[in-house]
Amino acid sequence: MFRFTTGERADLYNAVLDAFGVAGEHLETALGLDGVRERLRTVGWLAAVEDQELHEALTQLVRWGLLDVIQNHAENYRTAEEYERRNLQYSLTRRGEAALAGVRHALDVLAATGALQSAVLEAITDRLDELCLLAGEPASADRRIFSALRELEGHLEALVENTKAFNGELQRLLRAEGADLDVFREVKAATIAYLQEFLVNLDRRGHAVAAAVARVEEQGVAVLRERALRGADLPPVAGTDPAPAWLESRRARWAGLRAWFLPDDGTRPRIDQLHDIARRAIVSLLQVLERINESRRRSSSAVQDFRELARWFAAAPGEEDLHRLWSAAFGLGSARHAHLAHPDPELIPSSLSWSEAPPVAVSALLRTSGRTERFTRTARVRDIAAVKAERTERARAERAELARAWRALATDGPVRLSSFGALDPAVFERLLDLLGRALSARPDTTGLRRASTGDGRVEITLAPPPDGRTAVLRTAQGVLAGPDYVVAITTADAEGAFPTPARGEEAAG
């Protein structure tokens, strides 16, 4: 199928097939010799082509099964030359269309860089919500279900293809060693910022898509596919019925969607695996950047120094030169201790040779940093009693404020969210934190969402509003309006009170 991409006339073959592809976009299904020559100019082929060469190229493509040739009996030919030029009409076969699509797809893959787009996740959630709403509408919405389902599959395909392409580019970037360190460093730093921006609220978006998938499945995915099939208006095809193949393709696409966000075999969703890959890539890129910055701070690395020294050893002419080179490289450095004297120089006779005099104590600090040790009076130990008392008092106040907030939010049983009314800003922040934890959790079989604080001492149970009412909560900083959920907040003890901590515990906290 792809033999036209090699050989001496490969460029001409590609241009001819591309010309037929452009003609097909203009709904021209057949081209004669003059039509092919005209379309060659539109696809960028400006070189002169003789009629014989173009005819041989078309004939070869016909032999390969990429073009089909027919005689045009609907024309009136005035001369034999006109008959020769306009009689034969060429058109793409199914094999030729597939070959042209394969080449174009290969070129698109080579030019694509891939991307991680948070907007695609939001678009998938919107299409799922639209399908959930359309499931309850009459049969007149079948075409809308078909279009929404196809848009959903298009967004999922874009997510998968862009993610695979970006992951491939990311792994190649992690293995690459750029020649220009400045450009290399800028690319890696920009990639880190890009990954960090994508990871913001990725968990929330993934949970939103999973919840939307579950809602659609409650409506019945098989029914939606049947209605989408009616809205597709598939054309009649001789032979087999196209409907079973179409439905099987939709089932496979839905299984791919579940594999990404809500797998039914107990495995991790692929969106979570993408999260782990991005995290590991950020760490790896930061390590590479650290090595680049370290190499830029030093004039030369120790590895390069030892390699250069090894070359010098290999080029030394004799053994004496090897000893001198060793002494120069690994011997003692300059005599930094020459200015040192004995603690009491008067005890050393001036007539005594230096080789016979007692040694002078040389500090190790002088060898490493070039400075001698100086022993001074020990500094005073700072009194931290005031700082400790301040921190203890601050911890006690924070814990008392937290206990008051939990006592104010504790309920005797399920209540409506609107029953809280006006709240203190600190209590309102704690309530928002609990609501956020509950809404991010998946509902159980009864439809309830459960969550707890990090220490496990406060638990919230959240149920959807049964009547669609709106709750209004007021604070000194503003007003919050939202669904009037049914909530039940329980604390560690039955009465909702927190025991007063001991002073040792507060100090430890």
Q: In the predicted model, what is the mean pLDDT of residues 170-198?
A: 67
Question: What is the tens place of the pLDDT at every residue in 15-60?
Answer: 888 888 888 777 777 777 777 777 777 777 777 777 778 878 888 8
User: What is the pTM (predicted TM-score) of this model?
Assistant: 0.43
Whether the CB-CB separation of 462 and 435 falls below 8 Å is answered with: yes
Q: Give the chain's length.
A: 509
pLDDT value for 205: 83
Q: In the predicted model, what is the mean pLDDT of residues 478-496?
A: 78
Select from 402, 418, 504, 379 the least CA-distant residue to 453: 402
Highest mean pLDDT among 11-25, 137-151, 157-171, 435-449: 435-449
Whether the CB-CB separation of 124 and 156 falls below 8 Å is answered with: yes
Q: Is the model's pLDDT at 220 over the cut of 80?
A: yes
Cα 153 to its chain centre, rounded Å, is 20
- Cα separation, 234 vs 301, in Å, equals 68
pLDDT value for 501: 38
Highest mean pLDDT among 36-50, 250-264, 323-337: 250-264
Whether the CB-CB separation of 475 and 423 falls below 8 Å is answered with: yes
Which range, of 54-63, 250-259, 288-297, averages the lowest pLDDT?
A: 288-297
Highest mean pLDDT among 51-60, 238-247, 307-316: 307-316
Which range, of 68-77, 188-197, 393-402, averages the lowest pLDDT?
A: 68-77
Whether the CB-CB separation of 90 and 62 falls below 8 Å is answered with: yes
Q: Is the model's pLDDT at 507 over the cut of 70?
A: no
Better pLDDT: 374 or 411: 411
pLDDT value for 184: 62
Residue-wise DSSP of 33-66: HHHHHHHHHHTT--S---HHHHHHHHHHHHHTTS
Mean pLDDT, the chain, rounded, equals: 78
**3-state class of 486 per DSSP?**
strand
Select from 10, 19, 17 the least CA-distant residue to 40: 19
pLDDT value for 498: 36
Between the alpha carbon of residue 12 and those of residues 2, 38, 45, 91, the distances in Å are 14, 14, 8, 17
Dihedral of alpha carbons 42, 46, 51, 52, sign: negative
Q: In the predicted model, what is the mean pLDDT of residues 347-359?
A: 80
Question: Burial, 12: exposed, middle or buried (Cβ in 10 Å; 0-12, 13-18, 19+)?
Answer: buried
Strand order in the sheet with 449-452: 415-416, 486-490, 459-463, 449-452
Whether the CB-CB separation of 82 and 58 falls below 8 Å is answered with: no
Question: What is the tens place of the pLDDT at every residue in 83-101?
Answer: 555 667 788 888 888 888 8
CA angle 5, 9, 11 (to 5 degrees): 60
Q: In the predicted model, what is the mean pLDDT of residues 100-113?
A: 68
Half-sphere exposure for 395 (CA within 13 Å, toward CB): 16
Question: Burial, 354: exposed, middle or buried (Cβ in 10 Å; 0-12, 13-18, 19+)?
Answer: exposed
pLDDT value for 201: 74
8-state DSSP, 4: G
- Cα separation, 223 vs 131, in Å, equals 11
Q: Is the model's pLDDT at 198 over the cut of 50?
A: yes
Between the alpha carbon of residue 299 and those of residues 294, 330, 484, the distances in Å are 10, 20, 66
Highest mean pLDDT among 191-205, 210-224, 266-280, 331-345: 210-224
Question: Burial, 503: exposed, middle or buried (Cβ in 10 Å; 0-12, 13-18, 19+)?
Answer: exposed
Share of the chain above pLDDT 90, in %: 3
Half-sphere exposure for 113 (CA within 13 Å, toward CB): 4
The two structure tokens encoding residue 212: 């939307």
CA angle 378, 382, 385 (to 5 degrees): 150
Q: In the predicted model, what is the mean pLDDT of residues 345-355?
A: 79
pLDDT value for 500: 37
Beta bridge partners of 474: 422, 479
pLDDT band at 505; cut points 50, 70, 90? very low
Q: Is the model's pLDDT at 426 over the cut of 60?
A: yes
Highest mean pLDDT among 77-81, 186-190, 273-277, 463-467: 463-467
pLDDT value for 493: 56
CA angle 111, 116, 121 (to 5 degrees): 125
Q: Is the model's pLDDT at 113 over the cut of 70?
A: no
pLDDT band at 393; cut points 50, 70, 90? very high
- Cα separation, 53 vs 57, in Å, equals 6
Better pLDDT: 72 or 447: 447
Q: In the predicted model, what is the mean pLDDT of residues 64-69?
A: 82
9 phi/psi in degrees, rounded to 5: -100, 25
Beta bridge partners of 150: none
